[in-house]
Amino acid sequence: MKERLAHLIEELGILKKDFADSIGVSTGNLSDWLSGKTEPSAKPLSRISEKYKVNLNWLVVGNGPMFLETTTIADQRAVYGKKKKPDGDAVTQLQERLEQIEKEVRDMREKK
């Protein structure tokens, strides 16, 4: 994941400090992720996906395209800055999906 995270920051063309600030983590946390010392938990992964429209499957396990395709009006609003707060069901579904991805990653690591 560390390589994909570094690639994402490079693709976005922003400073690491600005990226860390934008997802609500310290530069120390980001540095630990980029070095492979630790990995981000579900909360910052969710923020990365929401803020930058990143495909979590790509970020976590390397499957699929880097960025999500924006197909809904809500997605378009988010891309163009007219953000609409997601409803509770959408947040719950995202959290459940993140937990599922984290479990899949743990299972894949255990099989190695």
13-45 residue pLDDT tens:
889 999 999 999 999 999 999 999 999 999 999
Q: Chain-centre distance of CA 23, in angstroms?
A: 9
User: Per CATH, which fold does 2-111 belong to?
Assistant: 434 Repressor (Amino-terminal Domain) (1.10.260)
User: Where is pLDDT greater, at 112 or 74?
Assistant: 112
Distance of alpha carbon 4 from alpha carbon 97, whole angstroms: 20
List the chain domain ranges.
2-111
Q: Would the pTM count as exceeding 0.85?
A: no
* pLDDT tens, position by position, 100-111: 888 888 887 787
pLDDT at 88: 59
Report helix, strand or coil for 14.
coil
* pLDDT tens, position by position, 52-101: 888 898 999 998 888 887 645 455 455 544 444 455 566 677 778 888 88
pLDDT at 78: 54
